[in-house]
Amino acid sequence: MTNEIVSFEHPEWKFGFDANPDLAIENRKKLVDRAATDKIKMLGYHWTYPGVGFAERKGAAYVFAMAT
């Protein structure tokens, strides 16, 4: 999940770097759902500074909420 906006709001989108797009989509969906359900703090090196935060449900999708 290299982008905290697109990857959280649209985990079903395919990206050019996905070696196996269907598996990547499945894994992104599972990861963001588990992170939101379990309130797991996440770190993304390519996310907007500071790159640390949480996944939160927003309707049928998710959003990234930076840690404070």
Is 31 within the bounds of a domain?
A: yes
**pLDDT at residue 40 greater than cutoff 90:** yes
**pLDDT tens column, 4-30:** 999 999 999 999 889 999 999 999 999
pTM for the model = 0.85
- Cα 21 from Cα 37, distance rounded (Å): 24
Domain residues for 22? 6-66
Is 1 within the bounds of a domain?
A: no
- Residue 45 burial (CB count, 10 A): 6
What is the tally of structural domains in the chain? 1
- Supply the DSSP symbol for 62: E
- Cα 58 from Cα 46, distance rounded (Å): 22
Average pLDDT of every residue of the chain: 93
Confidence of residue 42 (pLDDT cuts 50, 70, 90): very high
Number of Cα atoms under 13 Å in the Cβ half of residue 30? 6
The alpha carbon of 48 is separated from its chain's Cα centroid by a whole number of angstroms, namely 13
